[in-house]
Amino acid sequence: MSPAGRPPILDKDKKQKICGILKIGLGLVEAADYVGCCVRTIKNAAEEDPEFDDRIHEAKIQCQYQALQHVNKAAETSWRAATWLLERCNLARFGPSKVEMVPRDLFFKAVFDFLDNMAAEIKDQNVLRRIVNRVEALKQLAEIKLEFEKGRWK
């Protein structure tokens, strides 16, 4: 006697297709679309079938493994491939350098000088007040102490 209920949406053939799609680097969304189901169906099937869950995991890892093998092979003769690999493996050490940092005191001196010059040039008090309000908003974002008194930034 056969069990009651609907037949499973994902038969053996569809599960194999899903794993094949994952193995080439596409994701669950594309796999679900290809076999005509939703992602939740694949996840439910994986939860109910530990062997299928293992095959999904293995397919994802195989994709990464094969891609890294190609990059490693290319890195033997290409400095660009080697650089790419180093950047991805250790971004903090080999990644693109960060923007040069300006010492805090020099930065604020430049900002204050700019703001003082701007305040001296602006004669319309309404315009100046709007600028001061915008600087105040930026100040709160940057968490810096900055005051405008008597036409000067402090």
At 74-84, the pLDDT tens digits run 999 999 989 88
pTM: 0.53
Q: Could you tell me if residue 7 is inside a domain?
A: no
Q: What is the DSSP string of 13-34?
A: HHHHHHHHHHHTT--HHHHHHH
User: What is the residue range of 24's domain?
Assistant: 12-94
Does residue 74 sit in the same domain as residue 130? no
Does residue 20 sit in the same domain as residue 80? yes
Give the tens place of pLDDT for each residue, 89-132.
887 788 777 666 777 777 777 877 887 888 888 888 888 888 87
Does residue 17 sit in the same domain as residue 89? yes
Q: Could you tell me if residue 112 is inside a domain?
A: yes
- What's the mean per-residue pLDDT of the chain? 84
Does residue 84 sit in the same domain as residue 111? no
Contact (Cβ atoms closer than 8 angstroms) between residue 119 and residue 146 = no
Q: List the alpha helices (DSSP H) in 1-154.
A: 12-23, 28-35, 39-48, 50-75, 79-89, 91-94, 104-121, 125-142
Q: Could you tell me if residue 4 is inside a domain?
A: no
Please count the structural domains in the chain: 2
CA–CA gap between residue 138 and residue 133 (Å, rounded)? 9
Q: Is the dihedral of CA 47, 52, 56, 62 positive or negative?
A: positive
Q: Could you tell me if residue 115 is inside a domain?
A: yes
